[in-house]
Amino acid sequence: MDAQTKYMLNKINRRRFLQATGAATAGAAFLAACSGNITNGSSSTALQQWYHQYGEDGTQQAVLKYASDYGKTASTTIKITWVPGDYATKLSTALLSNNPPDVFEHYTFNENWAKQGLLEPLNDLYTSEIQSDFNPINLASFTVDGKIYGVKMFDDTQFFYYRKSMLSKAGIDPTTLTSWDALLEASKKLTTSKTKGLFLGNDGGIGLYQLAIYSTGGDLIANNQVAFNKPEVAAAFEKMREVSTSNSTLTGAPTDWLDPSAFVDGLAAIQWCGIWALPAVMKALGDDFGIFPWPAFGSGGKPTVPWGGFAEMVCAKSKRVAESKALVKSLWIDNTSVQEDFCLSYGFHVPSRKSVAAKATKLQSGVAAEAVKLLNTYGRTNPPLFTNTMNTALSDAVSNIVKKHADASSEVARAAESCSKELQQLLG
């Protein structure tokens, strides 16, 4: 397995995910590709629980222990499936098959999942006290028509890492990197024969286009309407093209932005990456690094970082819904020691329960505390109405703008029209 795949979040091909929703007949082929099944029992009536392949060492052993410990107390056999590669496609196909997982995690969901009857509502797991212990953002992200379909396992965010010594040598004050013009100028000063100034991923940052929209102060969808068809969004995408095609921006790195290797190895002085990489960066660089958010764009813009992370869900087609819900409740609502262990013993994630996060001493000082502050101050999450079809329309538009130098306003308008049609179908 390559270094990129090892990292916590595999870069998901959402177009294939969408295509897979109509490909249930191909389920056997996809399921055969889900290698790494591990079972703490052999019962054919075992609960099937799926995880994507986390990159941090020890996570696989941890979830096996959680399953084993729970099975002993609840007299339930749990079959853990550890899924490498394109988790989203394999999960989508499995959910449409005759043998779906009972319990599974995913980083997002949209209304189609609920409307297709694939998800079991989990409202009865949330007492008023428990519900108040989750950030409203975490609840809203998995709620449709008052029904909550997920229990957030942890929160993730992303930001720019910068090498203090490199910026100091180039005479750059990191506190001035509050606009894209300033960041692009700094990246040019930081570029040498061995080091590029900036790394946004091997696609030049195209996959991060949603952050460009949020950085204008705008949104993808607001008040049940497509909200991104605006001049400032087109201008932000034009700036992405300028940055992506600059000689100071690294592309073709051995690993993508999800892995901090390009930054740690000195291939880039500034890299976009995630909070999960903090332990690895600290181990490699000590205190020779800092972080800052995606800069604001335009006069009405705001700095931004993603509010991400995974949630546990229950398949509505499960033959053991009550037992599946009991497992989710035990792991991600009741068992705070599991939550803290999973979030902080292998990589860094923010526990989704506020009471657990408040006791996480590893997140209370230094750069980790700064990362949590960025999340709470600037974090943005995609609305549930934003579907994979909409993502495809927008990402294709941004790719055309960046790679083909297409007119930004026209591409944004075309994507908005496609997204509006999709939205009308959902709302209808």
Confidence grade of residue 43 (pLDDT, cut at 50, 70, 90): very low
Pairwise CA distance, residues 205 & 74, whole Å: 46
The pLDDT score that the predictor gives to residue 113 is: 80
Sign for the pseudo-dihedral over CA of 81, 86, 92, 93: negative
Tell me whether strands 147-148 and 143-144 are parallel, antiparallel or unpaired.
Answer: antiparallel
The pLDDT score that the predictor gives to residue 319 is: 93
The pLDDT score that the predictor gives to residue 347 is: 87
CA 21 to chain centroid, in Å, comes to: 20
The pLDDT score that the predictor gives to residue 112 is: 77
Q: What is the mean pLDDT of residues 157-163?
A: 98
Q: What is the mean pLDDT of residues 292-300?
A: 96
Q: What is the mean pLDDT of residues 340-345?
A: 94
Residue with more model confidence, 56 or 423: 423
User: Look-up: residue for tokens 């212990």?
Assistant: 133
Give the lowest-confidence range in 73-77, 124-128, 355-359, 415-419: 73-77
User: Look-up: residue for tokens 């000689």?
Assistant: 247
Express as a percent the part of the chain with pLDDT over 70: 89
Pairwise CA distance, residues 303 & 312, whole Å: 29
Domains of the chain: 3-156+308-380 (3.40.190.10), 158-306+387-427 (3.40.190.10)
Confidence grade of residue 14 (pLDDT, cut at 50, 70, 90): very low
The pLDDT score that the predictor gives to residue 193 is: 96
pLDDT of 27 strictly over 80: no
Interior/surface letters 269-278, b for 16+ CB within 10 angstroms, e for the rest: bbbbbbbbbb
pLDDT of 10 strictly over 70: no
Q: What is the mean pLDDT of the chain?
A: 88
The pLDDT score that the predictor gives to residue 1 is: 29
Pairwise CA distance, residues 48 & 79, whole Å: 5
The pLDDT score that the predictor gives to residue 333 is: 95
pLDDT of 352 strictly over 60: yes
Residue with more model confidence, 22 or 42: 42
pLDDT of 26 strictly over 70: no
pLDDT of 281 strictly over 80: yes
CB 101 within 8 A of CB 27: no
Q: What is the mean pLDDT of residues 333-362?
A: 94
**SS3 assignment, position 88:** helix
Q: What is the DSSP string of 219-276?
A: -SEETTEE---SHHHHHHHHHHHHHHTSTTEE-S-SS-TTSTHHHHTTSEEEEEEEGG
Residue with more model confidence, 36 or 300: 300
pTM, two decimal places:
0.84
pLDDT of 36 strictly over 70: no
Confidence grade of residue 102 (pLDDT, cut at 50, 70, 90): very high
The pLDDT score that the predictor gives to residue 273 is: 97
Q: Which residues contact 413 (CB under 8 A, 6 or more apart)?
A: 229
The pLDDT score that the predictor gives to residue 30 is: 37
What digits encode the pLDDT tens for the residues 397-418? Answer: 999 999 999 999 999 999 999 9
Residue with more model confidence, 18 or 389: 389
